[in-house]
A and B are shown apart, each in its own frame.
Chain A
């Protein structure tokens, strides 16, 4: 257990559906991340939230919409997805620090395996 949980673990949805992925971290961290891991590309950073403010949005299509209501919870809202969006979606958290020598280690959840039909 890494202290980061994700639900659901598996999700199958049609292209017209709307669904949400949930992530919760129990580590007291101040930054949370969404990554996409597919068979075709290396792990890709999608969104970063630091202190509940979005700080990174790496050209992700608008059919993916993140939400960070507090420092412990992160959502990824999905709508009108495409089959190529099928992938493992990983959530991570870290404690961001400007102290010299501090670790920026990210703790990952187990992921949600998404299949878009």
Chain B
């Protein structure tokens, strides 16, 4: 029979609420992290990045938090909108490295 596809975790939030998407990484040498958003039929799109010398970085409606102690990254989206519905990926690499390792992704579904 067919192999089971990758089962993405799904986060459903009400429009206007805040969203928090989490990502665990495994390489303690990683020191550069990016969050990407991928809408249906499109390639991943950069949202925000953070280096390991920071624990928080803010963009427009988005905040990335980095906890190096537990190797955890989170993306917070304020006042979630229908256009935020997409799959969100975290990616990590070592300083100056080009070999990004991507997480499996989380599907964000915004409810009206």
User: B98 contacts the other chain (Cβ, under 8 Å)?
Assistant: yes
Distance in Å: Cβ of A6 to nearest Cβ of chain B: 8
Q: For A103, what are the chain B residues with a Cβ–Cβ distance below 8 Å?
A: 49
Give the number of A-B contacts (CB < 8 Å).
Answer: 68
User: A66 contacts the other chain (Cβ, under 8 Å)?
Assistant: no
Considering the chains assembled together, what is the distance between the CA atoms of A56 and B34 in angstroms?
20
Considering the chains assembled together, what is the distance between the CA atoms of A105 and B41 in angstroms?
20
What DSSP secondary structure best describes chain B's contact surface? loop
Contact status of A110 and B41, CB under 8 A, knowing A40-B6, A104-B32: yes
Q: For A40, what are the chain B residues with a Cβ–Cβ distance below 8 Å?
A: 3-6
Q: For B6, what are the chain A residues with a Cβ–Cβ distance below 8 Å?
A: 38-42
Considering the chains assembled together, what is the distance between the CA atoms of A50 and B34 in angstroms?
20
Q: For B34, what are the chain A residues with a Cβ–Cβ distance below 8 Å?
A: 104-106
Binds A, one of B12-20, B59-67, B70-78, B100-108: B100-108
Task: Find out whether the CB atom of B43 lies under 8 angstroms from the CB atom of A105.
Answer: no
Task: Find out whether the CB atom of A31 lies under 8 angstroms from the CB atom of B98.
Answer: yes
- B85-101 with Cβ < 8 A to chain A: 89, 91, 93, 96, 98-101
Spell out A's residues near B (CB within 8 Å).
2, 4, 31, 33, 38-45, 48, 50, 55-56, 58, 90, 92, 94, 96, 98, 101, 103-111
Spell out B's residues near A (CB within 8 Å).
3-6, 32, 34, 36, 41-46, 49, 51, 89, 91, 93, 96, 98-105
A-B contact pairs, 5 of them (CB 8 A): A31-B98, A33-B98, A42-B103, A103-B49, A108-B44
